[in-house]
Amino acid sequence: MLIRRPHDIPSSEITPEDSYLNRREFIRKTAALGAGMAIAGAGLTAAATATAGGPQDKWRPKSPGPYDTDEELTPYTDITSYNNFYEFGIDKGDPAANSGSFKPSPWKVEVAGEAKKTGLIDLEDLLKPHTPVDRIYRHRCVEGWSMVIPWLGIPLADVLNRFGPTSKARYVHFTTVLRPEEMPGQKRSVLAWPYVEGLRMDEAMNPLTLLATGIYGKSLLNQNGAPLRLVVPWKYGFKSIKSIVKINFIGTQPKTTWELSAPGEYGFYSNVNPEVDHPRWSQARERRIGEFFKRKTLMFNGYGEQVASMYSGMDLRKNF
């Protein structure tokens, strides 16, 4: 399979800067695409729709948690219409425009590898024993934009511990569903499909790491990774793999999709580190969606107190 690296993508296929800066007009025109899009409840919440100016933009958890940021939330319409999800296309509006045929229900997840319990499990059974939590996290994209998203989900550690990972399990490897008939981006060789990602076991077990099923108290829309996605808030967004169908406990560090595609640009760890530039742009500053001026990028996306100890003694320039 021919893998097209980011620098091989024609400029005609890259979102122009003026389109990005004028995204409010784009959002106004495309927000209706999300309206009425039914999403599987995953046993947690009713289906959500994206309606401009809806009451969901006023939503906040009833009581802040210890990991929540108090920063202003990114509007629901922005979160659901400005996305990276290459399975539906490489432009930011493609996931909302092209994901209407995707079927997130019924859904099964395969649990495999170095664990006491493995097998194929219905999503409802995977999630049912656990109590969902609301978490307001910063979300930083490697391209330089960021959001503040109120996630609904379950700590990944709670789910993984049910399967009894053995001492041989040093990493967790995740796989996205492969359905080119429903995910038109998979018909193009922009990346090697299916999309795969991985975490070291201590990263996976960190209390910040979520298996997310919703945003703004509602179930995920297709363009946001329905029905189940990973959320790792101290890492760049591409680590938070979407539409997960396999969780595999393994002993050796796995290769990940962007690492395979462009190893000089995307490493395994992918921690938010403003001191390590992407080869083609600086990571020192970011533009929060909805704001005009850029702001300083925070080390570990502002979660250093919770995660820095996991990387003690590591060279974070080499292990990028």
Domain 6-311 has CATH 3.90.420.10: yes
Q: What is the pTM of this model?
A: 0.83
Which has more confidence, 266 or 27?
Answer: 266
Helices (H), the chain: 17-21, 23-30, 76-79, 94-98, 123-127, 156-161, 201-205, 257-261, 304-307
Of 183, 173, 220, 176, which is closest to residue 47 (Cα–Cα)? 220
Mean pLDDT of the chain: 86
Tokens of 310: 């996991």
Query: How far from 255 is each of 5, 134, 188, 189, 268, CA to CA, in Å?
Result: 16, 31, 21, 18, 7
Cβ-based neighbour number of residue 98 at 10 Å: 21
| 3 state SS of 95 | helix
Tokens of 30: 């495309």
Tens of pLDDT along 206-249?
999 999 999 999 999 999 999 999 999 999 999 999 999 999 99
119, pLDDT greater than 50 = yes
Res. 136 pLDDT band, cuts 50 70 90? very high
Query: How far from 274 is each of 139, 140, 159, 319, CA to CA, in Å?
Result: 14, 11, 32, 14
Work out whether strand 218-219 and strand 244-250 pair parallel, antiparallel, or are unpaired: unpaired
**Which of 56-60, 114-118, 223-227 has the least mean pLDDT?**
56-60
188, pLDDT greater than 60 = yes
- Rounded CA-CA distance 1/208 in Å is 36
**Mean pLDDT score, 16-41:** 37
Tens of pLDDT along 142-170?
999 999 999 999 999 999 999 999 999 99
What is the side-by-side strand order in the sheet with 119-122? 119-122, 108-113, 244-250, 171-176, 196-200
Per domain, the residue ranges of the chain are 6-311
- Rounded CA-CA distance 229/240 in Å is 7
| 3 state SS of 156 | helix
